[in-house]
């Protein structure tokens, strides 16, 4: 324990004075006493955790005394008898306030609250972020240490923590400029969400390490000699890309590992005065391009225009003498520190002449979302992620005022950004003097003029394409007001239909119709009746059959079975056994299940089951975006699942291919699939243009390994350039 405390003091020593040391020691002693009888799941004394969090905060993020104290004490109020008032009395209001933001909400009751407790806790952290960003910085240090020690947790907890880390914390670290933290969080999340792919990439990176070192040494040698002659002070770093970033590139380009050229990056870090930064970086770039031909399409100048998170660097891709592209990054020591430690390092330079205001602008957007109308914790997190983690575009009003919006924003988002009444009455827009529809996606530089009509009304389908929190909030309020107007009309129409069908308009029958139509309540029911979304035919069908008939459910999904009364809720005494790993279709006596169509899992895929009261278990692939979203928000509902060892059922899987069109190509392709491998082809879609052919084939397979073997065989066909697995959402996954 003392060894770890000394390690903390060592990484922090350059920024301490006597008073600071005394306060940190006081916090350490309090934490050690509070946690003295506690141990982590790994068996280690619990005090090791706050010490490691404080060391990360000081050494890897670059925080000072206040943050170190908060890191040491962040679990004291939550896990021991100490109260916030005790912390405030000993360390002051500011530290107590930060620790309050770091303390989880654990006194919520009720089914809905329990389901969204993770989202509630994250919202609490974000609410404190608007007045002190150190809350989230300490929280990120806490999350990083938890991810580093996740091996000791059970599988369902690993998936829960890894998913919310990937979905929420890694993007937040990136938005705050903490690139090193963000990269490690992404990589560690992938280790548990996609373990097979993670291990495969790490193995291939280790196998090719010697080759990379030879390439790097050969590449940098002439550049180093030239820069030394120019008296440039610099150092060269060779950084391997993370497994996560390599995997993202493989999926984006639909290529195997062997075709990813940028598995590493060569970085030149220059030591020069701040006022000479731009000149020196471009001098180094000019020197490098004297030896190697640059790819101008891959040049990125984030020195002239830094990223919103403060990131500054010059990126280039050049052709080496070995005939392979190499990514080069050029930056100064100041830029390097900001790139690794984000705004925690940026504050050191805030009074310098080239400081940026990106953090202040971002925090103002945080406050804007925090000040919007009350929404559920789940919606709050979705809005926050969508609006603050995404890149931005800059568009202009007719008078030239610049407005920043998330990438993917539409003309309607622009209208709501100006004012909710403008959005609710919008019928179209002129973008660059061209008439476009409401769902037209905007791009940077567009000039937008909104067209309105007094008879226009907000519509439910607008939710399908608006992306900003302001647009969703304004649209929701507009529809709420509209529903109040339609309430009486809908009630009259509904009563007329009930009378016509000889159905008693009782509360029980009203609730039955609401349940059948899957709507939220009676106000929505009247509204949908008023606008004919619910009509006489739907009412007749709703009461035609008794509820609970299982035949339609079976025909829709043969993998699920009708629930019994005993399956409606899980008894408390069975919860422990329920959350153990489930063998799909073999140990499903507690609940029925359904295989999700969004990711189309097949035997051999890493899968997870999500449980919700009164619903079947939902089986997803662990790398399914929808599943990761759900796991990040409903972590307590995760059940680790696995497939039966032997399965006779065939599953439908999709494959997408791109290749060179030639005579007999399709014949050879079908022969390999049907005759050589012995798989049944269900469908084949082919499109050929300019000598390039694109195919989408669906085949029946029994497991993921059979699909991998098929893809490996298809890659051996000389005409084929790309092969990837295709799921139901149209998102491709390259299989190695």
List active site positions.
78-79
Contacts of 497 (CB under 8 A, 6+ apart): 529, 535, 536, 539
Q: Over 105-167, what HEC string results?
A: CCCCCCHHHHHCHHHHHHHHHHHHHCCCCHHHHHHHHHHHHHHHCHHHCCHHHHHHHHHHHHH
φ/ψ of 46, rounded to 5, equals: -60, -30
φ/ψ of 525, rounded to 5, equals: -60, -50
SS3 402: strand
CB atoms within 10 A of CB 299: 14
Tokens representing 341? 């430690």
Contacts of 257 (CB under 8 A, 6+ apart): 200, 201, 204, 246, 250, 736
| Number of separate helices (H) and strands (E) present in the chain | 32, 21
What's the full length of the chain, in residues? 736
**Whether the Cβ atoms of residue 517 and residue 534 lie closer than 8 Å to each other:** yes
Residue 58 DSSP symbol: I
What does the alpha-carbon distance between residue 154 and residue 160 come to, in Å, rounded to a whole number?
Answer: 10
What does the alpha-carbon distance between residue 11 and residue 24 come to, in Å, rounded to a whole number?
Answer: 13
SS3 583: strand
What does the alpha-carbon distance between residue 394 and residue 563 come to, in Å, rounded to a whole number?
Answer: 52
What does the alpha-carbon distance between residue 498 and residue 505 come to, in Å, rounded to a whole number?
Answer: 6
Residue of 475, 520, 513 whose CA lies nearest to 493: 513
Lateral strand order in the sheet of 593-595: 582-583, 638-642, 607-610, 617-621, 593-595
């Amino acid at each position: 324990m003392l060894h770890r405390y000394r390690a903390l003091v060592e990484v922090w020593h350059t920024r301490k004075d006597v008073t600071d040391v005394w306060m940190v020691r006081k916090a350490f002693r309090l934490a050690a006493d509070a946690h003295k009888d506690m141990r982590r799941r790994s068996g280690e004394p619990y005090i090791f955790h706050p010490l490691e969090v404080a060391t990360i905060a000081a050494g890897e993020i670059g925080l000072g005394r206040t943050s170190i104290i908060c890191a040491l004490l962040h679990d004291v109020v939550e896990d021991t008898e100490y109260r916030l008032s005790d912390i405030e009395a000993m360390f002051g209001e500011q530290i107590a306030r930060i620790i309050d933001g770091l303390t989880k909400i654990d006194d919520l009751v009720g089914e809905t609250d329990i389901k969204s407790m993770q989202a509630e806790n994250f919202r609490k952290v974000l609410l404190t972020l608007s007045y002190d960003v150190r809350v989230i910085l300490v929280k990120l240090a806490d999350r990083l240490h938890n991810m580093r020690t996740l091996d000791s947790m059970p599988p369902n907890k690993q998936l829960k923590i890894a998913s919310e880390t990937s979905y929420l914390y890694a993007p937040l670290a990136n938005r705050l400029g903490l690139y090193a933290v963000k990269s490690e969080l992404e990589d560690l999340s992938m280790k548990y969400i996609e373990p097979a792919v993670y291990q495969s990439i790490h193995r291939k990176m280790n196998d090719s390490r010697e080759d990379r070192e030879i390439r790097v040494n050969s590449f940098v040698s002439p550049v180093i000699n030239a820069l030394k002659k120019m008296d440039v002070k610099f150092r060269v770093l060779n950084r391997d890309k993370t497994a996560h970033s390599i995997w993202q590139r493989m999926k984006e380009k639909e290529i195997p590992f062997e075709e990813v050229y940028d598995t590493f990056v060569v970085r030149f870090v220059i030591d020069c005065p701040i006022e000479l930064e731009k000149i020196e970086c471009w001098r180094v770039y000019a020197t490098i391009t004297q030896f190697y031909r640059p790819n101008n399409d891959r040049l990125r100048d984030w020195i002239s225009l830094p990223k919103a998170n403060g990131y500054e660097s010059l990126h280039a891709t050049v052709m080496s003498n070995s005939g392979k592209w190499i990514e080069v990054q050029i930056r100064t020591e100041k830029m390097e520190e900001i790139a690794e430690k984000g705004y925690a390092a940026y504050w050191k330079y805030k009074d310098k002449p080239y400081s940026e205001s990106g953090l202040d602008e971002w925090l103002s957007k945080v406050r804007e979302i925090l000040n919007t109308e009350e929404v559920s914790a789940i919606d709050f997190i979705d809005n926050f992620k969508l609006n603050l983690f995404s890149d931005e575009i800059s568009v202009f009003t007719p008078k030239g005022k610049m407005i920043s919006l998330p990438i993917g924003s539409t003309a309607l988002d622009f209208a709501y950004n100006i004012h909710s009444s403008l959005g609710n009455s919008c019928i179209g827009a002129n973008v660059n003097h061209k008439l476009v529809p409401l769902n037209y996606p905007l791009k940077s530089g567009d000039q937008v003029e909104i067209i309105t009509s007094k008879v226009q009304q907000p519509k439910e389908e607008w939710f399908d394409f608006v992306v900003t929190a302001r647009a969703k909030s304004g649209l929701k309020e507009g529809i709420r007001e509209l529903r109040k107007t339609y309430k009486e009309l809908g009630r009259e129409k509904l009563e007329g239909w009930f009378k016509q069908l000889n159905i008693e308009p009782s509360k029980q029958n009203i609730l039955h119709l609401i349940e059948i139509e899957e709507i939220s309540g009676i106000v929505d029911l009247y509204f949908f009746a008023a606008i004919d979304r619910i009509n006489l035919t739907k009412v007749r069908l709703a009461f035609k059959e008794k509820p609970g008939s299982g035949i339609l459910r079976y025909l829709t999904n043969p993998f699920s079975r009708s629930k019994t009364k005993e399956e409606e809720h899980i008894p408390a005494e069975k919860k422990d056994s329920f959350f153990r790993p489930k063998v799909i279709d073999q140990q499903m006596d507690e609940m029925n299940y359904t295989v999700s169509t969004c990711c189309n899992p097949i035997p051999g895929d890493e899968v997870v089951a999500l449980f919700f009261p009164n619903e079947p278990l939902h089986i997803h692939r662990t790398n399914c975006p929808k599943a990761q979203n759900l796991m990040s928000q409903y972590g307590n509902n995760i059940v680790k699942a696995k497939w039966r060892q032997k399965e006779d059922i065939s599953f439908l899987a999709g494959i997408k291919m791109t290749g060179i069109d030639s005579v007999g190509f399709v014949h050879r392709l079908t022969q390999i699939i049907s005759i050589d491998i012995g798989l049944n082809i269900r469908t084949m879609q082919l499109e050929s243009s300019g000598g390039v052919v694109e195919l989408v084939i669906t085949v029946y397979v029994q497991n993921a390994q059979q699909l991998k073997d098929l893809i490996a065989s298809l890659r051996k066909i000389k005409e084929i350039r790309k092969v990837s697995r295709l799921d139901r959402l149209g998102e491709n996954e390259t299989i190695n």
